[in-house]
Structure 1
């Protein structure tokens, strides 16, 4: 019998175990992305359901993300039905023959009467509401808007639907900074208060290994594909 080095034997065993694991365990990959920058992002304005498209910088960010994703297999993509996410998704996919499903379930928080305003304007125009808006209250919602509790339930529904429909596939989801926090809470099985534990940069990439009953976080808020002027902060 040949004398096989122990490190090689260990590598063979590991490869075999991973092969068997993938055969008997349905595992997929979920990539979630926040949309590229908009003019309202740059101005610090609350967007919510207002349908604002990408700025020139945001489009450049999305193309940079596309370069990052070019070597990755993607089976299917999802975005909200708002322009800033669907435009980001299409630019990131770079013309590949991949179905893009647009759904209102992936929209940003509805911010009601605060949409279009900066924080300074909210403080000036709604002095009684402003402190409530800044509090970490799961049930607070601006007039005409959604609460964190409502949004977390919405995102749990759509993320579970996507996971169950694509158990062993690679899925790209392009959505919004606020609701992606709720998606993290759902995917990781965290308490609802976890909504305030995450921030997402424009065109950042977050990745999970997904299983029927759970998800494992591999990459969080990675913006290494964005260079210099196309980097941006965490404004929603």
Structure 2
């Protein structure tokens, strides 16, 4: 049995502007840096056998905030990336609806095999993305000798794991939290995931870059 601390990356400016990030490599904003630092402090005494991260900066820098105070190394995995949205990346909802009205409808209906127009990269279907994300986390958690690992990743990956546990179809609208810098505790027994705790952000309350100070 392996416990997985699934962590969504800290906040970015594109999160604030509700722009799809996908594979676009956006860094943390100042709030995201604050969140990551608070996360690192909260997990400082947590026994971890390994720390993994998506290779995109927003996830990697979040993982580094956990790893550096412990003297651990972050291992990057492309399989932990967010879904690639093709031409949708960099756009917000109104812009996508205006430029790609039919594809926007497919997105809103959560059509699992819809492939959006290509942008800088070829878009993934929801089926392709979820299979890739779940397989990557299953593989990491199955590494011999690992009892507890931290995985810094993206909202879509957390969504995929939650739906896998709850046997929830992708056509069902998201009715659960996927929060920046949240800790989501899940176990893997070699065949199935089980949720122990979801959406924990208690560590972010009143936290600042310098512990004990409140810059606001």
Using the size of structure 2 for normalisation, the TM-score is: 0.86
TM-score (norm: length of structure 1)? 0.79
The residue aligned with 2:196 is 218
Instruction: Give matches, 1:150-161, under 5 Å.
Output: 150-161=128-139
| Change in 2 beyond 3 A, CA 1:194/1:132 | closer
The structure with the largest helix share of the pair is 1
1:165 equivalent in structure 2: 143
What is the aligned counterpart of 1:201 among 166, 170, 179? 179
Structure 1 residue 100 corresponds to structure 2 residue 78: no
Aligned residue number for residue 17 of structure 2:
43
Query: Structure 1: which 4+ aligned runs deviate by more than 6 Å?
Result: none
- Using CA pairs below 8 Å that are at least 6 residues apart, which structure has the higher relative contact order? 2
Q: Please give the root-mean-square deviation of Cα atoms over the aligned residues, in Å.
A: 2.0
User: Could you tell me how far 1:116 is from its partner in structure 2?
Assistant: 0.4
Q: 2:107 maps to which residue?
A: 133
Q: CA deviation at 1:30?
A: 0.7
Q: Which of structures 1 and 2 has the bigger CA Rg?
A: 1
Q: Aligned residues, how many?
A: 203
Q: Which runs of 5+ in 1 are unaligned?
A: 1-26, 231-236
How far off its partner does 1:167 sit?
Answer: 5.6
Contact 2:138 2:190 in 1 (8 A): no
Residues 219 and 195 of structure 1: is their aligned pair in 2 closer, same or farther, counting only changes over 3 Å? Answer: farther
Consecutive unaligned residues in structure 2, runs of 5 or more: 209-216
